[in-house]
Structure 1
Amino acid sequence: MKLPSPLSRLVSAYITTLRFVAGTSMAIIVLVMIAQVWSRYVMGGSLIWAEELCRYLLMWQTFLVLGLAYSKGEFVAIDFLPSHLSARGKWVLKAICAIPIIVFLALITMYGAEYASRFSNQTIPALDFIWGSLFGHPLGLHIGYIYISVSVGCALMILHVAADVVTSFGPQMRSAHQNGLDESNNTTEIGGRQG
């Protein structure tokens, strides 16, 4: 299914942004871990904030790129049943499976946001330490901003699952006709049902 031009540009910008954020956060994690190893084994001290900062960055990175991994088909999948179905059957199975997935992700999004809101009084120690070392006072960013990554990631995943079902509708139906099925779901002279 071909997307309209404005929507296509929006999707492209979204994917580019997610890739940039994932790449940048991974670069920061690698640099901080190199600094941590250097500090510990060469300088004889340790950066007390390094592990915590890397953990938080990794959490955000993971939840942000879940949807991209899903869209690229990089999740583990059992494809025994879909491989035996027609193109139309594969799409119907995908649509049926998407319903409980979206419901589950919606529940995680909702309860994840509720859980994150409970931590509005607790600040992020690593960022407070770094900010305090640089500017003389703690940053005061609460840890709920870390936990909300679960809700943000699941909400984005809902969009990816729904988009996958919608965008695969046209191609799956066209391939059903190309594989020898007409509108009445009967075999045609093109080559019969393939599946």
Structure 2
Amino acid sequence: MLRQIDRAILGLNRLLLIVALAAMSVIVFANVMLRYTTGDSIVWAEEVARYLMIWLAYLGIGPVLRLGGHMAIDTLQAGLGEPRAKLLRLLIVLLMACFSAAMVWIGVDFVDRTSVQSTPVTDISFSWIAAAIPVGFALNLWHLLAVARGYVTDREFEVSADLDPDQAASI
């Protein structure tokens, strides 16, 4: 049952990323086309695209982590013996979990503090944009816990057929 919940959360996370990227792409494309064809642009396009980019960045942290896609310098653990390397990886996971939990906590406070501000053009509460921080790091914490055991014990991350680097290199 936990695996089904995990797959549902990962699927929802990916869907949100796809929708945000698609919406941002359509908005920017339409704005550029209008600017070049009519000389006018959509007033709110740049602002909305910027806020979608913020959401994309925070929502993307967890899925990238699951695949081991964040930049890392792993020469230290490669130079340690396996028992010490496992302890180092455990420490890394604990630090990442603490940081993610702290960012959720700080992010919730930030959302509360920004609720009195509104965006300049669309006039929506800035807390909707700030909510990307606690949501993104809560999802990151979930994704971290999903791969922690494999990372600590075997230095492995998830593998996705959708994101096979060998297949991407051959395109």
**What is the TM-score of this pair, normalised by structure 2?**
0.80
Where does residue 139 of structure 2 map in the other structure? 156
What is the CA RMSD across the aligned residues, in angstroms? 2.1
One-letter amino acid of the structure 2 residue matched with residue 16 of structure 1: G
Q: 2: distance between equivalents of 1:8 and 1:163? A: 9
Q: 2: distance between equivalents of 1:126 and 1:39? A: 18
Task: Say how many residue pairs are matched.
Answer: 155
Where does residue 10 of structure 1 map in the other structure? 5
SS of structure 1 residue aligned to 2:71? coil
1:87-134 CA distance string (max 9 Å, x none): 443322111122222222222221222122112233344445xxxxxx
SS of structure 2 residue aligned to 1:142? coil
Which among 111, 128, 133 is matched to residue 145 of structure 1?
128
Q: 2: distance between equivalents of 1:101 and 1:49? A: 36
Where does residue 77 of structure 1 map in the other structure? 72
Whether contact under 8 Å (1:98, 1:161) holds in the other structure is: yes
Where does residue 131 of structure 1 map in the other structure? none
One-letter amino acid of the structure 2 residue matched with residue 63 of structure 1: Y
Q: Cα offset for 1:79?
A: 1.1
Structure 1 residues 115-194: aligned runs within 5 Å: 115-128=110-123, 141-168=124-151, 172=154
One-letter amino acid of the structure 2 residue matched with residue 155 of structure 1: A
Where does residue 54 of structure 2 map in the other structure? 59
1:36 and 2:31 equivalent? yes
Whether contact under 8 Å (2:107, 2:133) holds in the other structure is: yes
One-letter amino acid of the structure 2 residue matched with residue 40 of structure 1: R
Larger helix share, 1 or 2: 2
Q: 2: distance between equivalents of 1:47 and 1:35? A: 8
One-letter amino acid of the structure 2 residue matched with residue 166 of structure 1: R
Structure 1 unaligned spans of 5+: 1-5, 129-140, 173-195
Whether contact under 8 Å (2:89, 2:151) holds in the other structure is: no
Q: 2: distance between equivalents of 1:97 and 1:64? A: 21
SS of structure 2 residue aligned to 1:81? helix
The alignment-based identity, stated in percent, is 27
